[in-house]
Chain A
Amino acid sequence: MKYAYYPGCSQESTAEEYNHSLQAVARRLEGIDLVEIEDWNCCGATPAATVNPALPHALAARNLAIAEEMGMEMVTPCAACYKNIRKASHVLNDDPDLLARINATLDGHQLGVAPRVRHPLDVVVNTIGVDNVPVERPLHGFKVASYYGCLITRPEGGFDDPERPQSMDRLMEALGAEAVEWPYKTKCCGGAIYMTTEAISMRLSADVLAHAKAAGANAVAVGCPFCQLLLDLYQDKLEAIKGTSFDMPIFFFSQLMGLAMGLDRKDLGLEKLVVPPFELLAQTIDAPDGAPEKPKKKRAEKLKTWGEA
């Protein structure tokens, strides 16, 4: 099936590897064909509604109108874009007056009925099915903490449970990884406030990584460019807050899919990760004898990460 693909701004800058790996995965998978929306515009992230409550809906309307012209459901990998545009699609389909007011500001495109808006994780898990992902190099030895963050499952009404989502965990298991059970999978990283209130967002992100580590994870999987940025780019700061070492590669779930599907690694952007994943790869899927049975973990070190800064 063809989908109108809306990459979102971050996927062209800080999270280019998310964009590239997802497109590479989609090329290999049966049943998902991403056709980029030509000339898409920014969704306005969190600031749009602060400046004007109708603005995020209006910005989304233009992108939705182009997707409607293409006659396709929309797919967007960014959790913030996904939330904004998904919400706008419901609001605009329910409120003809607002739709008319917004259509009046659009020049060149008019939105009739907003198409369905989906996160790629939803398409992979619920439409294609995790068993139909062709796994060539199972991720044995990977203990993945699936981190959904806020906006993949919230506000309610999306494709997975907002308190205890499972879709990414099931995908990780299908890829051959161990899905680590942990309590912080839907906690916020503070992405929306890290420019204005950095100290707080660092504290939130540090808690997320501390819990992933304490649960025994050796990798974190995300489906949001901001979660990835905070946990990866700022990981040394988060380590300083907790007074411990995390050494935790933060993958986009599409990169892990690409690894397991045996895709060309140059399409996966692994070298763009700030915390390098190569040691983990060398110990697991690239190890000459396959993954070791039990990666050694020092219990004392594990417990230490639970402590507050």
Chain B
Amino acid sequence: MTQQKAIRLGAEASAEMRFIEEEVALCYQCGTCSGACPVAAAGGMDYTPRAIMRMIQAGMEQEVLSSQTIWTCASCYACAVRCPRDIEITDVMTQLRNIALEKGYKARRGKVYNQGFMGIVRQHGRMWEPRLVVQYNLLTNPLNFLGLAPIGLKMIRKGKLRFLPDHPKGRSEIRGIFDGLEGGGE
């Protein structure tokens, strides 16, 4: 077990890390979050939310940032509404994903999905689902296209697939939001 302090609050800590540190410091390990979590119950997490909270307190940066849990969190806020300490657990998970991407942790599916999603929004101003599905599967598991065919056909039959993207007029404004934040943010 590596005992790194990087996730702990320090002079150099970013706003995201300070947020995580402050929230997680409140946790007294009751486990209500884990009991509320539907993904943990369905076997989709390697560490329960409670364990993640404790690991952050213990400074286990590597284990936390390379965990499956931060990527399978469905952001449903069931943990956050039940937490007796009012910890924003869902938002902590989101920011852990953010830090994991920033620090280059291996999370191929999460990276391809989240960055691919936002790349489409940056370019088109709105989501264009068929491109996301094609792009994501090409980059992660091209064989999956076979499995997608029945769903795709169903969607086409029901007119639920949009073959061309929407093009709102203010696309340059929307791109400006992305560029402005990336340049001036962090």
Contact = CB atoms under 8 A, between A and B. Distances in A.
B118 interface: yes
A200 B76 CA distance: 14
Contact of A204 (B74, B80, B110, B166): B74
Secondary structure type dominating chain B contacts: helix
Interface stretch (B5-13, B25-33, B47-55, B176-184): B176-184
Contacts, number: 193
Interface residues of B, number: 64
A59 interface: yes
B74 A201 contact: yes
Given A41-B121, A196-B71, A204 B39 contact: yes
A200 B80 contact: no
Contacts of B172: 107
Contact of A14 (B15, B129, B182): B129
Given A47-B117, A272-B160, A192 B75 contact: yes
Nearest to A150: B76
B110 A196 contact: yes
A105 B184 contact: yes
Contact of B98 (A14, A50, A106, A195): A50
Interface in B38-89: 38-39, 42-44, 71-78, 80-81, 88
B178 to A, nearest CB: 7
Contact of B39 (A49, A59, A102, A190): A190
A53 B94 contact: yes
Given A40-B168, A41-B125, A58-B177, A195 B133 contact: yes
B44 A200 contact: yes
B154 A274 contact: yes
A272 B159 contact: yes
A203 to B, nearest CB: 5
A291 interface: no
B94 A49 contact: yes
B74 A191 contact: yes
Contact of A44 (B118, B158, B179): B118
A193 interface: yes
Given A59-B121, A155-B81, A188-B74, A51 B126 contact: no
B22 interface: no
B81 A203 contact: no
Contact of B121 (A44, A102, A196, A197): A44
Nearest to B100: A50
Given A106-B176, A188-B76, A190-B39, A54 B81 contact: no
A1 to B, nearest CB: 26
Contacts of A45: 117, 127
Nearest to B160: A14
A149 B78 CA distance: 10
Contacts of B174: 41, 59, 62
A24 to B, nearest CB: 17
Interface in B154-169: 154-155, 158-162, 166, 168-169
A22 B148 CA distance: 30
Contacts of B109: 196
Given A13-B161, A195-B136, A196-B113, 19 more contacts: A16-B159, A39-B168, A41-B125, A41-B173, A41-B174, A50-B110, A52-B185, A59-B177, A62-B170, A106-B180, A154-B76, A155-B81, A162-B77, A186-B78, A188-B78, A190-B38, A200-B72, A201-B74, A271-B158
Interface of B: 15-16, 38-39, 42-44, 71-78, 80-81, 88, 90-91, 94-95, 97-98, 101, 109-110, 113-115, 117-118, 121, 125-127, 129, 132-133, 136, 151, 154-155, 158-162, 166, 168-170, 172-174, 176-182, 184-185
Interface of A: 9-10, 12-16, 39-42, 44-55, 58-59, 62, 101-102, 104-109, 149-151, 154-156, 162-163, 186-188, 190-193, 195-197, 200-201, 203-204, 207, 233-234, 271-274
17 contacts: A12-B162, A39-B170, A44-B118, A46-B94, A52-B181, A54-B181, A58-B181, A105-B179, A105-B180, A156-B80, A188-B78, A193-B39, A193-B74, A195-B133, A200-B44, A272-B159, A273-B158
